[in-house]
Amino acid sequence: MSSASWLEVDSLCAGYGASRILDKVSFSLGEGQSLALLGRNGVGKTTLLLSLMGLNTHQGGSIHWQGKSLLGAPTHQRASLGIGWVPQERYMFPSLTVEEHLTVIARPGRWDLASIYQLFPRLQERSQNMGNQLSGGEQQMVAIARALMLNPKLLLLDEPMEGLAPIIVQELLGVIKRLIHEEGLTVIMVEQHARMTLSITEHALVLDRGQTVYTGSSAPLLADPESLEQLIF
């Protein structure tokens, strides 16, 4: 395993119970690198993120994070090791204010309440609103901000733009671009907006039926619309 790689996934097979979704998926990611995780619906993208968080059935292969195997490690331990996760569902708690969502799980580091409010000024305006009093875009901001308050070394984003208005998509895209290019955060991003995601990431992994059909740099894939169309649409 390369010492330069923070995350090493080798021949990963995973799914749910006896059902196999991922079949021998391999990739590596170094500190500060970003990965676009792409493919049609149902090909295993979310399953891969869930595997990294220990939330499904491991059926073969290995996952190493900073040189240590993650197999058998519970989700909370993976989070404490620096893996942050922003799920599709967002998981807002109606009984908690925005500020409580952010502070209840905060860990010391670069991201505190002040820096989060600088990144998402709208959340400061809504700081005393309850989780169920927020728009979809505001809820997504809270979901990303909450993961950042754990001060992760690796951030997993599962379709952060899904169902949002174009103006909010552009705002969130700017935030994620800043996290990658200015903050140097290591990011894996699942997103249906393939071209948009490729434009801000360094590397790409495309899945089809649980197997890798493309792994390499984002730029050449973005520059080849025909190949991108065949792989993803």
The CATH number for 198's domain is 3.40.50.300
Per-residue burial over 191-200, b = 16 or more CB atoms within 10 Å of its CB, e = otherwise = bebbebbbeb
* pLDDT(1) > 50: no
How high is the pLDDT of residue 4? 65
| Mean pLDDT for all residues in the chain | 94
Lowest model confidence (mean pLDDT) among 46-50, 91-95, 143-147: 91-95
How high is the pLDDT of residue 3? 41
How high is the pLDDT of residue 86? 96
How high is the pLDDT of residue 122? 96
How high is the pLDDT of residue 105? 87
Range of the domain at 12: 5-232
CA distance 19 to 208: 16
Name the token pair of 108: 């010391």
How high is the pLDDT of residue 233? 72
Percent of the chain scoring above 90 in pLDDT? 89
CA distance 42 to 161: 17
DSSP 134: S
- The total of structural domains in the chain comes to 1
Place of tokens 């009093």: 133
- Shortest CA distance to 190 belongs to which of 144, 156, 140? 156
* pLDDT(26) > 60: yes
pLDDT in tens, 67-116: 999 999 999 999 999 999 999 888 899 999 999 999 998 999 999 999 99
Measured CA distances, 57 to 18, 19, 102, 184, 206 (Å): 8, 9, 30, 31, 21
pTM given for the model: 0.95
* pLDDT(2) > 80: no
